[in-house]
Amino acid sequence: MLIFKKIGPGLFYAAAAVGVSHLVQSSRAGASYGWIMVVIILLINLLKYPFFLLGPLYTYHKEQSLLDGFKQLGKWSEWVYLLITLATLYTTIAVIALICASLFISTFNLSLPIWVLSLILIATVIYLVHYGKFKRLSSLIKFIIVLLTIASLFALIFAFNKAELIGGLVGEFSFYNQVDVLFLIALIGWMPAPLDIIAWQSEWTIEQHLVSKPTLKESLIDFNLGYWGTALLAIVFAALGTLVLFKQEEVFENSAVGFINQLIQLYTSTIGEYAYPFITFAAIATMISTLITVIDAYSRVIPKVTASLWSLTSVQSSKIEKINLGLILFITVMILKFGMSSLSSLVDFATSISFLTAPVLAILYLLLFKRVPMINRNKRVILFISCIIGLIFLFLFGSAYIYYIVL
């Protein structure tokens, strides 16, 4: 399991975060609503930042992971975390695998059904994660993220040069419009990443500390680079969607493969056809790294929480890990084979579930935050107030979602 010793938790976070929320949701946001979504994405990242900051602060000062903290809060918090994780696990991996498989089908003209290729990809990743055969990933992730970022920035520069009437690329968004609000909630769910990642990053940080423990300043620099780097990339994708696709007759395809073809075309139409191999490689590598890090995270947290709840031995915990990985393979493939109607509906469903569970996770993190011995009281108060503002924001939009869906 120690397959990421050399990589900083910040880049590990980026590998997990940069994926569907960026390639799919941010591009759709810009294409549908224009520059207003660039502003909204920035605001979402600002509102969620305090919650994500709690992770490295707690882990550094308490020298334990957030899951260890839940254990100290009581079994009720572990049960809550486990149920939330199980509620989001399978759809999350299904969406990521769907995009991965679609990229392979589009790039290599494969004739395999998406669910079959997804099965192959997930099974391969499970093998790599469980048996630790992917040790070089740590050196590849930095290259992958940097390559995608450079390609995206170049595409954005070319798009600005080609765009006309930039000032007019502002769409209409209304909080009274059900379609607009539901899309925004789906966007918020995984922007910049689901709140689950806070606990995952805590586990990765503890594992890194087994090798060498950085200073608090180094930890925060690593965290901020990962967080704001992914935020910048989300803004770039939204801007590309705005400049290239906003107010165009062409709309995003509902099929995963069709959408991926459009996404690749978005890049090649602005940079040039010669960029196709680099773009496809960066996109495939990004989604594969996302699939690996997410499965790796779930393979850690579920056995750890269940072992704590039922006082399992290491042998029993190992069996739980194998059962968990088997269920991940079976259930996610079944979702893709029988439950997939369109890319947008599956993505929106998965991200909306993450959004609805976010306030509960946020409360759990805040309860742990009270136990962090921070030196500067003023910073502690500011961070707490910022989290409360973010929590109110999550509850308000969660209430809006329930109103539109249930009532």
Query: Given the structure tokens 């500067």, which residue do they identify?
Result: 376
In this prediction, residue 3 carries a pLDDT of 42
| pLDDT at 164 (0 to 100) | 61
Burial profile 120-144: b = 16 or more Cβ within 10 angstroms, e = fewer = ebbeebbebbbeeebeebbeebeeb
User: Which whole number is the average pLDDT over 282-292?
Assistant: 83
Mean pLDDT of all residues in 298-323: 91
- Among candidates 269, 262, 295, 267, which has minimal Cα distance to 282? 267
Cα Rg of the chain (Å, integer): 20
The pLDDT, as a whole number, for residue 235 is: 92
Residue 346's alpha-carbon distances to 96, 254, 308, in angstroms, are 11, 10, 33
Higher pLDDT, 21 or 64: 64
Residue 2 is assigned to a structural domain of this protein: no
pLDDT recorded at residue 146: 76
Q: Per the domain annotation, does 193 fall within a domain? A: yes
Domain membership of residue 4 (yes or no) is no
Inform me whether the pLDDT recorded for 4 exceeds 80. no
pLDDT category of residue 246 using cuts at 50, 70 and 90: confident
Calculate the alpha carbon distances from 134 to 127, 254, 265, 280, 325 in Å: 9, 33, 31, 21, 17
Give the pLDDT score at 2.
40
Residue 370: Cβ within 10 Å count? 8
Mean pLDDT confidence for 241-257: 73
pLDDT of residue 1: 43
Supply the pLDDT for residue 290.
Answer: 87
Q: Is residue 181 part of a domain?
A: yes
Look at residue 293 in the predicted model and tell me its pLDDT. 85
What is the pLDDT at residue 169?
64
H-helix segments, 215-275: 216-245, 256-271
Residue 310: domain span: 9-406
pLDDT value of residue 375: 63
Identify the pLDDT of residue 251: 63
**199 in Cβ contact with 55 (< 8 Å):** yes
Does some domain include residue 1? Answer: no
Task: Report the candidate in 402, 395, 361 with the shortest Cα–Cα distance to residue 88.
Answer: 361
Of the listed ranges 49-58, 92-101, 183-192, 335-344, the one predicted with least confidence: 335-344
Tell me the CATH number at 255.
1.20.1740.10
Report the percentage of the chain scoring pLDDT > 90.
Answer: 30
What pLDDT was estimated at residue 250? 60
Q: Is residue 402 situated within a structural domain?
A: yes
79 contacts 309 by C-beta, under 8 angstroms? yes
Output the pLDDT for position 142.
66
User: 249 in a domain, yes or no?
Assistant: yes
What's the rounded Cα separation, in Å, for the pair 182 and 90?
A: 21
Name the average pLDDT for the chain. Answer: 84
CB atoms within 10 A of CB 153: 13
pLDDT above 50 (res 5): no
Task: Determine the Cα–Cα distance for residues 200 and 196; give it in Å rounded to an integer.
Answer: 7
Q: Is the pLDDT of residue 340 over 80?
A: no
For residue 205, which of 404, 406, 384, 7 has the smallest C-alpha distance?
7
Q: Are 291 and 157 in contact (CB under 8 A)?
A: no
Instruction: Summarize pLDDT for 342-401 with one digit per residue, the tens.
Output: 777 888 888 888 888 999 999 999 999 887 776 677 788 888 899 999 999 999 888 888
For 379-386, which contacts have Cβ atoms below 8 Å and span 24 or more sequence positions?
383/50, 383/53, 383/54, 386/49, 386/50
pLDDT score, position 325: 92
Task: Quote the CA–CA distance of 105 and 52 in Å, as a whole number.
Answer: 35
3 in a structural domain: no
Cα dihedral: 10, 229, 69, 320 (round 10): -70
Q: What's the structural domain count of the chain?
A: 1
Question: What pLDDT digit, counting tens, does each position of 127-168 carry?
Answer: 888 776 544 555 566 677 777 778 778 878 877 777 665 555
228-233 average pLDDT score: 90
